[in-house]
Chains A and B, each alone.
Chain A
Amino acid sequence: MADTELTGAEIVVRCLQDEGVKHIFGYPGGAVLNIYDEIYKQDAFQHILVRHEQAAVHAADAYARSTGQVGVAIVTSGPGATNAVTGIATAYMDSIPLVVLTGQVPTAAIGLDAFQEVDTVGITRPCVKHNFLVKDVQQLAETIKKAFYIASTGRPGPVVVDIPKDVTQHLCAYHYPRRISLRSYNPTYKGHTGQIRKAVQMLLEAKRPVIYMGGGVILGNASRQLTQLGQTLAYPTASTLMGLGGYPASDPLFLGMLGMHGTYEANMAMQHCDVLLAVGARFDDRVIGNPKHFASEHHRIIHIDVDPSSISKRVKVDVPIVGDVAHVLDEMLKLLAAGKASPDEQALQAWWAQIELWRSQDCLKYEAGDKPIKPQYVVEKLYEVTQGQAFVTADVGQHQMWAAQYYKFDQPRRWINSGGLGTMGFGLPAAMGVQFAHPQAMVVCITGEGSIQMNIQELSTCKEHNLPIKVILLNNGYLGMVRQWQEFFYEERYAESYVGSLPDFVKLTEAYGHVGMLVERTADVEPALRDAFGKYKDRLVFINFLVDPRENVYPMIPAGKGLSEMILV
């Protein structure tokens, strides 16, 4: 007697339950109706209906970023899938573990230009870690298991599972494999012992060391190890945009963010170090600028990454170590503890003296008058009012950089932003994802008037679920980062960067059923924030801060320039 047979739709739901999924974000449509019917009949996990598929994927993505678990989104075929693509590409560029289930037209209709048909597997292929089209219900459960396994192991990433409608109707016995192994996919976990030994020795020989950490430290849950390593050696640590929070920003050994809008001290130290320990970072163009300029100084480079293709891609590396960063750092810490050698104190003292000199430049200083409000001031006050404890999501542009520069993250997974793809419209749906994962936490979305309007419809989703998100709009009336580049590099020809006819954001927010505030003076910034986190703690509060339209993000390394070629205030 065979097991009871389930439909494909029932199998999808059972798989998600067996995977321990608690929240999925999605939008129904023809091709996924059977699956939605099964979602309706269960309450093991909650489905959150968004207002646009892109938001579903961003919310699932941020859910993953803030928890470390795999985020799950579900959308229908055709436009449902194409709307999801921006979200998928966002997750791909930042290596976020995601499973996206997409409906597809029935197998017999595939290729016939059926209603709401697109080649989802073809469209998403370049922006997923892997994808599947499930043509046979017998393979459904195993494929979903593979999707979760692939998404969450090695260098994480989004996996798309495309499911034709007839497959959701077909019957088969359900069996969800507990474990799975693929002969073609075996991420390296343990680092090479010899290389690790070499790395430790090189680190101890350093006269001017720098630890350069990236998003891999967060993704690989290696903050504890990295912090311990930096503090044991008393070496300076600098972080990429994606690594913020992986090392406590309030520690004086931390130099701040690196790269295009990184601090003077971080960039100068990176350029002039003799030994560089790169951990879970990829030397991308926004971090080291021009690789030739970077290589003009002699560095010895140790690079730890789980993805071998990230190593020696833009910069040649002396000691490559492929492996799980937490595991490799653990091994390094063990060797350091067991060994007798210690860092060269004298050299280190001289190096720190040099760094302090760079630091004394105080590259993030700004002057706050009463009006207009300086955007940096808003972020600093936000940091104070939330005592550094909030989850902060950002959209993309100047406000994102100010958030990264002025909100000091001491813990990993608190800073949620689209670093690789730079997706405007990410912030608000991301805040929803974070709030679902952490219902009691303070969740803030720092945004601009350009970005927020790219997914503002999600204020409706927030109302439906009473999410007490705080939206901090740094409204300067311009697509600020575009305006800044035009000021610097296009002789102030502000082509299409001024946003005319902005809505009345307070009324708009109220129309969605939330609390809206307008703040125009510096003196009102802190009281407004205190109200938002006090009186209106349980409400979504949207604060429209009118900030200085001419403010620029400093320091700045112009595109194509080197790390020591910064423009300072």
Chain B
Amino acid sequence: MRHIISLLMENESGALSRVAGLFSARGYNIESLTVAPTEDPTLSRMTLVTRGSDEVIEQITKQLNKLVDSVKIQDITDGSHIERELMLVKVRAHTNDLREEMMRLGDIFRGRIIDVSDKTYTMELTGTGSKLDAFLEALDAGLILETVRTGACGIGRGERILKV
């Protein structure tokens, strides 16, 4: 099962490597990992996407909890939640047909064109990972010049709050 684990950590140098090291040392899967400081600059929030059986996920949460720098952990896939990922895609747009096609596709996926050159468009899309996948599949692979994705970040719905 795919799980999204949110983690509040002390914003200390090395905190990220403790998490990454834990996953490699114990052989856990790591699909994506995003991290940035929160509104409280002493804390950073990490979102981890991982896969594993219930037992493995239980161990992952326990091991993360055990890290001395980890303040709070939540498996946000335990309840209803929202998940978003940001993707930037640079595509070929050297003909009028292509330029129109890309604008249309972008509209359908609620993307925005954020950079334009004679030969390229750069688009910004947000959504769940599968929506971003779908967008890439809808494009002719030969037209994609470059993609960059942030990995998922997530938050619980309603009153479910992860805060110190």
Q: Which residues on A are within 8 Å of B, measured CB to CB? A: 121-122, 125-126, 129-130, 133, 150, 182-185, 307-309, 312-313, 316
Q: Known contacts A121-B14, A125-B21; decide if A184 and B68 are in contact (CB<8 Å).
A: yes
How many whole Å from A134's CB to the nearest CB in chain B? 12
How many whole Å from A408's CB to the nearest CB in chain B? 35
User: Inside 8 A of A184's CB, which chain B residues have their CB?
Assistant: 9-10, 68-71
A129 to B68, CA, bound (A): 8
B21–A150 contact, CB under 8 A?
Answer: no
Pick the contact of A125 from B17, B58, B59, B66 — CB < 8 Å? B17
How many whole Å from A339's CB to the nearest CB in chain B? 32
Closest residue of chain B to A146 (Cβ to Cβ) is B68
B62 on the A face (CB < 8 A): yes
Pick the contact of B68 from A133, A150, A307, A316 — CB < 8 Å? A150
Q: Known contacts A309-B63, A312-B58; decide if A183 and B71 are in contact (CB<8 Å).
A: yes
B55 on the A face (CB < 8 A): yes
User: Inside 8 A of B9's CB, which chain A residues have their CB?
Assistant: 184
Closest residue of chain A to B9 (Cβ to Cβ) is A184
B66–A307 contact, CB under 8 A?
Answer: yes
Closest residue of chain A to B13 (Cβ to Cβ) is A133
A126 to B21, CA, bound (A): 7
- The main secondary structure of chain A at its interface with chain B is mixed
B21–A182 contact, CB under 8 A?
Answer: no
A308–B65 contact, CB under 8 A?
Answer: yes
B68–A125 contact, CB under 8 A?
Answer: no
Cross-chain pairs A/B with CB under 8 angstroms, 7 sampled: A126-B25, A183-B71, A184-B68, A184-B70, A185-B68, A308-B65, A309-B63
Q: Which residues on B are within 8 Å of A, measured CB to CB? A: 9-10, 13-14, 17-18, 21, 25, 55, 58-59, 62-63, 65-66, 68-71, 164
A214 to B96, CA, bound (A): 74
How many whole Å from A89's CB to the nearest CB in chain B? 12
Taking A309-B65, A313-B59, A316-B55 as known contacts, 12 extra A-B pairs with beta carbons closer than 8 A to each other, sorted by chain A number, are: A125-B14, A125-B17, A126-B21, A133-B14, A182-B68, A183-B164, A184-B10, A184-B70, A308-B62, A309-B63, A312-B55, A312-B58
How many whole Å from A40's CB to the nearest CB in chain B? 33
User: Inside 8 A of A309's CB, which chain B residues have their CB?
Assistant: 59, 62-63, 65-66
A309 to B64, CA, bound (A): 9
User: Inside 8 A of B55's CB, which chain A residues have their CB?
Assistant: 312, 316
A125–B65 contact, CB under 8 A?
Answer: no
A121 to B65, CA, bound (A): 20
Q: Known contacts A308-B62, A309-B63, A313-B59; decide if A125 and B69 are in contact (CB<8 Å).
A: no
Closest residue of chain A to B24 (Cβ to Cβ) is A126
A255 to B110, CA, bound (A): 70
User: Inside 8 A of A312's CB, which chain B residues have their CB?
Assistant: 55, 58
Closest residue of chain A to B10 (Cβ to Cβ) is A184
User: Inside 8 A of B68's CB, which chain A residues have their CB?
Assistant: 129-130, 150, 182, 184-185
User: Inside 8 A of A185's CB, which chain B residues have their CB?
Assistant: 68
How many whole Å from B93's CB to the nearest CB in chain A? 43
A183 to B163, CA, bound (A): 12
- Which of A182, A184, A307, A312 has the most chain B CB atoms inside 10 A of its CB? A184
How many whole Å from B71's CB to the nearest CB in chain A? 4
A125 to B70, CA, bound (A): 15
Closest 6 CB pairs of A and B: A309-B62, A130-B68, A184-B71, A185-B68, A126-B25, A308-B62
A405 to B46, CA, bound (A): 48
User: Inside 8 A of B18's CB, which chain A residues have their CB?
Assistant: 125
How many whole Å from B96's CB to the nearest CB in chain A? 52
User: Inside 8 A of A129's CB, which chain B residues have their CB?
Assistant: 68
Closest residue of chain A to B64 (Cβ to Cβ) is A309
Closest residue of chain A to B72 (Cβ to Cβ) is A184
User: Inside 8 A of A125's CB, which chain B residues have their CB?
Assistant: 14, 17-18, 21
How many whole Å from A322's CB to the nearest CB in chain B? 10
How many whole Å from A150's CB to the nearest CB in chain B? 6
How many whole Å from B17's CB to the nearest CB in chain A? 7
B17–A122 contact, CB under 8 A?
Answer: yes
Closest residue of chain B to A127 (Cβ to Cβ) is B25
User: Inside 8 A of B21's CB, which chain A residues have their CB?
Assistant: 125-126
A384 to B55, CA, bound (A): 48
- Which of B10, B25, B65, B68 has the most chain A CB atoms inside 10 A of its CB? B68
Closest residue of chain A to B25 (Cβ to Cβ) is A126
How many whole Å from A100's CB to the nearest CB in chain B? 16
How many whole Å from A544's CB to the nearest CB in chain B? 41
